[in-house]
Structure 1
Amino acid sequence: MAESDLSKHRYYGGIFALLGVVFIWVTSSFAMNSIFGELQYNKPFLVTYLNTATFSFYLIPFLFKNSKKKNEETIKILNTTETRLQFSELESRSHLSINNNTTKLSTMETIKLSFAFCILWFFANYTTNASLAYTSVGSSTILASMSGLFTLGIGAMFNVEKITLIKLISVCVSFIGVILVSYSDQKTYPTEQDPTITTNISSALIGDILALLGAVFYGCYTTMLKVRIGDEDRIDMPLFFGFVGAFNLLLLWPVFPLLDWLGIETFQLPFTSTLWFMVLLNAFIGTFLSDYLWLLAMLMTSPLVVTLGISLTIPLALFGDIVFKGFIPQPHYIIGALLVVIGFVTVNIAALKERKQEQEQQQQQIPDQNISTNYQSI
């Protein structure tokens, strides 16, 4: 299979993983909204902590596999001098032909990256989850979509994203859609909640601020990973997520007594079997599986594509509100959702064109390098 075909299949594979993430995240948001509201278990920090804890299970197979692999490699190297010489020759060649952008991260480098990533990731998810306790799934999803603006800006600063006219138009179209949906949601919000105006305004404001903070953290850690990793082949993702879970377990447990003492979140384990089932199911599916797919999609496409792709959660959340909550959307809401989808499709087309241009440039450089090498040898 040609290299261009592999790159195209790789990109489409990332889009497929992204669509799976969109579906899982919306389903998880409705589940948490039910946990915090209907089931009266408003513990976003504990739920996020348990979600992150599931990542630690990635380390179990790694520990056994890594020790076995090291023993086998050690025996082969010690018993065969020829193998050791061949390995040294291949290693020296690989250092000449492989640059820093394609070499695989070592275990220590992966651990350091997990440490830098874990806090940003936790607070991005914590603020987003906490917003679901104060506002609807639609409102939280709408404001989370604003992460596209932060991703584009931060990515441009680190040369991860190229600011083109098409991308700017796509982001602006998506942002206009977010405004329309937000306007429609805020217009109908007081009629759906308690008639006390002051309580409604303060509750909506808290939820909006938390969701917006989640969007900011998302843009930060998405760009950081693309800068530090670049290509998904460079990192062992199960190992990466495993240490993310381990670091969060070790570093964040002292926060529980602090939150309890401040009265922000009293410590209380789930008190019914239904709660335990929903919390654990959300942890393993809504976090353990979905975030693995998310990272894969981000590395196989780009941070901006994934960020705008996550905006597809808006029409899906709207569909869920209509089916499960009997919500009737206004025209502003429907038009806004369509604009978000249009922005997503447009930026994907632009990204595909950029990839084709990069491939053509690389193919043109390879013959030039071969000619230069042959000339030097003559």
Structure 2
Amino acid sequence: MEKPTIHPFIPIVIGVISIALSAILVKLAEAEAGVIAFYRMLFSVLLMSPIFFTKYVHEIKLLSRRDWIFSSIAGVFLAFHFILWFESLNYTSVASSTVLVTLQPLFAFVGTYFFFKEPLSVKTIISGLIAISGSILISWGDFKVSGTALYGDILALIACGLVTGYFLFGQDVRKRLSLITYTMVVYSISTICLFFYMIIGRESFGPYSTMTWVWFILLALIPNLLGHTLFNWALKWVSTNVISVAVLFEPIGAAILAYFVFEEYLKATQLLGGIIVILGIMLFIIDIKVVNKIFRRKNA
């Protein structure tokens, strides 16, 4: 496998900043969760289509049956991740929802161990647990043990498991396909899945306000085409574990934005949790075993 032109951590950081806007844009859009998810993916596919059909469409024939199966599973997982996460934002705070969705290391550490036999060092596990504990602390004051907030928290947690599955299946396929082809295939499958979800659920395709259409397009441009596409690019050289831990930055940015946009006030526990998250992520990144793992294939 060729050496990446830039260090994979750079696009991962940019991707995390981009997806931090996702929860804000979703709450601004005046539509049901399935509708927001559908148009987010549809506009992403439409925006990618000119590049794909001009330069990459011939790569479709390179997909094996196994690639199609894994890509389809990844696309379905991504579709329902968006549905459940967007719905959770109707019941709980931005901080609580994004914290639970970004607890991916709990799933990713186990998934990559069993599916890809990737060893976990003690330092990796400890640093991940530190980051996770900080994530929980960020919105400790918002967590509820009953009522609608608890329901929203459960939806966000399930969405977390689904997006980790999306990355796990993508990690296998992405190593054999170009970024554009892989992303186009998975996003298209996700869009089709969401289309039938809307038909079955009798959700309306429109009309919506002008600003809601703007939020739909921005969701496609920033979190999807910039954020998730950068993650898909990085999957060729890094483990799902690396992305899952880095994504723990998202609640920090989302909580800050929610304060300015929706006046969701930050608590002392959230500020302290943010510091702990950054500490855990830094310990994970500087682990020499993780760094060596990222580039272990370049000399193969």
What TM bracket, shorter-length normalisation?
0.7 to 0.9
Structure 1 CA distance, aligned partners of 2:204 and 2:193? 17
Segments of structure 1 that go 5 or more residues without pairing to the other structure are 36-40, 71-103, 188-199, 261-265, 367-378
Q: What code does the residue aligned with 1:161 have?
A: E
Asked if the contact 1:33/1:136 (under 8 Å) is kept, the reply is: no
Post-superposition CA distance 1:187-223 (Å, at most 9, x none): 7xxxxxxxxxxxx942212211111011111222212
Q: 1:125 aligns with which of 82, 103, 108?
A: 82
User: Aligned pair in 2 of structure 1 residues 66, 184: CA closer, same or farther (>3 Å)?
Assistant: closer
Q: 2:129 aligns with which of 140, 157, 172?
A: 172
Partner residue in 2 for 1:237: 179
Asked if the contact 1:127/1:210 (under 8 Å) is kept, the reply is: yes
Partner residue in 2 for 1:207: 152
Partner residue in 1 for 2:41: 52
Structure 2 CA distance, aligned partners of 1:51 and 1:34? 13
Q: 2:9 aligns with which of 11, 15, 21?
A: 15
Q: State the 1:25 CA deviation.
A: 1.2
Structure 2 CA distance, aligned partners of 1:340 and 1:328? 19
Bigger helix share? 1
Structure 2 CA distance, aligned partners of 1:105 and 1:310? 33
Post-superposition CA distance 1:322-361 (Å, at most 9, x none): 43344443332222111111111111111x4444489799
Partner residue in 2 for 1:224: 169
TM-score under structure 2 length normalisation: 0.86
Partner residue in 2 for 1:63: 53
Structure 1 CA distance, aligned partners of 2:85 and 2:119? 28
Name the stretch that deviates more: 154-163 or 305-314. Answer: 154-163
Q: State the 1:182 CA deviation.
A: 3.2
Q: 1:299 aligns with which of 216, 236, 242?
A: 236
Asked if the contact 1:21/1:290 (under 8 Å) is kept, the reply is: yes
Q: What code does the residue aligned with 1:62 have?
A: F
Segments of structure 2 that go 5 or more residues without pairing to the other structure are none
TM-score under structure 1 length normalisation: 0.69
RMSD, aligned α-carbons: 3.0
Percent of paired sites with the same residue: 19
Q: State the 1:160 CA deviation.
A: 4.8
Partner residue in 2 for 1:144: 101
Q: What code does the residue aligned with 2:198 have?
A: F
Structure 2 CA distance, aligned partners of 1:137 and 1:238? 31
Higher relative contact order (CA 8 A, sep 6+): 2
Q: What code does the residue aligned with 1:144 have?
A: V
Asked if the contact 2:104/2:160 (under 8 Å) is kept, the reply is: yes
User: Aligned pair in 2 of structure 1 residues 317, 283: CA closer, same or farther (>3 Å)?
Assistant: same
Matched residue count:
297
Asked if the contact 2:19/2:222 (under 8 Å) is kept, the reply is: no
User: Aligned pair in 2 of structure 1 residues 53, 345: CA closer, same or farther (>3 Å)?
Assistant: same
Q: What code does the residue aligned with 2:16 have?
A: V
